[in-house]
Structure 1
């Protein structure tokens, strides 16, 4: 299952089936859940500002242990990892789950029916650092457990993740003004960062010496935003193919409609359709990926984002008409033309747009075969924005040859794409060396795919 293809009803069923009743308990303001095999000792720390929290002392905070104990949700990170990914050795420690005050109820995890849920994991052997992450797409707080949390914990970092305040395919119902739901994402990451630092200070007797933001897709966009708006909270960040919003272009509302128009013509064999796809940024060689993305990604993402930022486009309708044919008429997202939309729409997009004015070191990774966020319309552009803002010395950009948007695609398309998780881990290590040891990372470049296919399990930046 890929990033934006999940329907709310299916999500609820999967969550209900995979989380154990012991963890999915509510009521009161705090609770505990025994785990065994770990020496947590004393009262669990309180999460400042949290409305509700439960704690669990666990013998293993990584997915190698939390899947069995019910302290993660595999459905939340399904499709994000490359095949064969294994958990690191067990990391014992304390897990805190809970939520901050919020009026929306899209996140049904634990049966709480409450948004702004979080998870904080505190390893027994702490290296003094903290990693904070927001989920990709419309997923929830456990989405990064496999691709970010496991590695962070194995290195001794504390790890905190948020659902970013709203989840599922109807995030646009949250908030009053266009863009409010996305703006809440930023607030929730900031809120969790501040709270997790204080939690670490309670647990270990001192605050983190280094704090990093990390994330993929929507989570990568949040890394960029945090380093632009709240750099004082972080030592640096790792941005894995983050979303890009700019007031004029490019943004998701300018890259998705051309694909929705051209792909059906391409399938029908119409002259010029293939060239239209290439001109829209979808690279040659990625054709085997287009069908899946048309079915599960482009249309869904276009309608979610457009309804959030331009709800008047389809009148009283909500979320548009799935797969409306080209030329259907007013309100069809396939025919959407951002440039011709009213100034108020561009103002709404400006509210959530990035500037490139990062204030702390940032490493960006983007795959050359990403057909959800085409690299020429996303990573390449943001890199120019950072340089134009005069912050290029704080940025490194690695274009990963044959990388795609989700590593789960590698199982079905090993000849077309390569996994990017090894490159993320290399970037993570490079960021730590850069900010803690003064080791300047390699210059920005395009990272070639290894000649030996076995080499895709590693990555040299």
Structure 2
């Protein structure tokens, strides 16, 4: 989910699609590390194609203007004043795994299942894995996640999840295939990246963490439920919730489409989980998120509901892509056939996490409302008997993408600094046995650098 003020979702998709040229050898300065001479020997197990480069700086600051990152695909995820580290030399490996779809045009490859692996010269022994949020691609969280973890010495790996763009639902042969592939690709990359790290540094990572935002948060949850053997813990930043019986976005977004068409009241949105006080964000989400998100995810799991909309494509112009399907205003997931529920069950979460997890969710999220998402997931974890492995922090003034803070600095706060604090809390929990603070709401401070700081246990926090 990828909109930002001034950079509409579909426009950003079309802009990102322009990054089609192959990666030239001289696209970025080379690193001086002698070990870089071996970079061409590093093989990514299972990759159908790869290319590597030794670079003087693996961060977005150093890679600006090169094909090794994609600012268009990062639009809206971070606030403008976010401080970014730089000057991290090392090796970058780009490539793709075998796949039958060909939407991702990055590097001119026009091949899905693309990945990026970054190996800093000064390694701390750890690896951080993520998957793209929304329908973005592998460079989407370079600013939000890659820069920071590289600066702390972690190797980094990210995947495009095997499909991207607003027509992602066309990938696969049966309902749910596209989302199911997200999980498979994340597992595939984690296993491959661990072996690449071992080859580069002489031993396997001592710790492997997973984190992500939105759909990347969903991947974090799913991986810790289904493949805890691969990870030591994770940070879930407003992960999407999929449950067989609901709730999910298919139970909350139809009310928003009905409101767009004038057939629903504000009370109907409150009833499905949207927070009172978030109304100032609704006009923007009406234009940029709600209709598009409902129609493409409903097409993924329930294409028979309205085969004509979105049909073979979500649209050819920005206006067509963002337009809702009129039929979604009355969509009722609970009454849909069992086949639809079985499609969702293929990717559904259970709450049975096997490793420590920290969840963050903003109380002003106007796309995935907290009450219908992370509040529910926290209860699922408790019900499964895994509550001791979980911490849950609401973020007062947090919304789904941090870029909206720049439009509403008096009402919102970015969640990224809280994610960074949560990652520190997670590593202390895993590596030193220091438990994070109990579940609570992180208050919005009246003063200070809200864009770059967040205390999970300081005076700005209030117990939930």
Normalized against structure 2, the TM-score is what?
0.91
Match of 1:261 among 251, 258, 279: 258
Per the alignment, residue 378 of structure 2 pairs with: 383
Match of 2:410 among 402, 408, 415: 415
- TM-superposed deviation, 1:316: 4.8
In 2, Cα distance between equivalents of 1:13 and 1:244 = 29
Please list, as runs of the form range in 1=range in 2, the aligned pairs for 1:55-454 lying within 5 A after superposition: 55-265=52-262, 273-317=265-309, 318=311, 323=323, 332-452=327-447, 454=449
Per the alignment, residue 11 of structure 1 pairs with: 13
Unaligned runs of 5+ in 1: 26-30, 267-271
In 2, Cα distance between equivalents of 1:247 and 1:90 = 46
Q: Is the 8 A contact 1:179 1:348 kept in 2?
A: yes
In 1, Cα distance between equivalents of 2:12 and 2:61 = 25
Per the alignment, residue 3 of structure 2 pairs with: 2
- TM-superposed deviation, 1:63: 0.6
Q: Does residue 42 of the first structure (1) align with residue 38 of the second (2)?
A: yes
In 2, Cα distance between equivalents of 1:456 and 1:282 = 25
- TM-superposed deviation, 1:453: 5.6
In 2, Cα distance between equivalents of 1:66 and 1:286 = 37
In 2, Cα distance between equivalents of 1:324 and 1:78 = 22
Where 1:104 maps in the other structure, the secondary structure is coil
Greater CA deviation, 450-459 or 413-422? 450-459
- TM-superposed deviation, 1:148: 0.5
Per the alignment, residue 28 of structure 1 pairs with: none
Q: CA RMSD, aligned part only? A: 2.0
Q: Is the 8 A contact 1:32 1:54 kept in 2?
A: no
Unaligned runs of 5+ in 2: 315-319, 457-464
Write the deviation string for residues 321-348 of structure 1: whole angstroms up to 9, x where unpaired. Answer: 86458xx6xxx11221111111111111
Say how many residue pairs are matched: 442
In 1, Cα distance between equivalents of 2:60 and 2:451 = 22
Greater CA deviation, 443-452 or 398-407? 443-452
Normalized against structure 1, the TM-score is what?
0.92
Greater CA deviation, 257-266 or 118-127? 257-266
- TM-superposed deviation, 1:89: 3.1
In 2, Cα distance between equivalents of 1:141 and 1:455 = 28
Write the deviation string for residues 363-387 of structure 1: whole angstroms up to 9, x where unpaired. Answer: 0000000010000000100000000
In 2, Cα distance between equivalents of 1:305 and 1:434 = 36
Per the alignment, residue 452 of structure 2 pairs with: 457
In 1, Cα distance between equivalents of 2:383 and 2:232 = 22
Q: Is the 8 A contact 2:126 2:206 kept in 1?
A: yes
Where 1:122 maps in the other structure, the secondary structure is strand
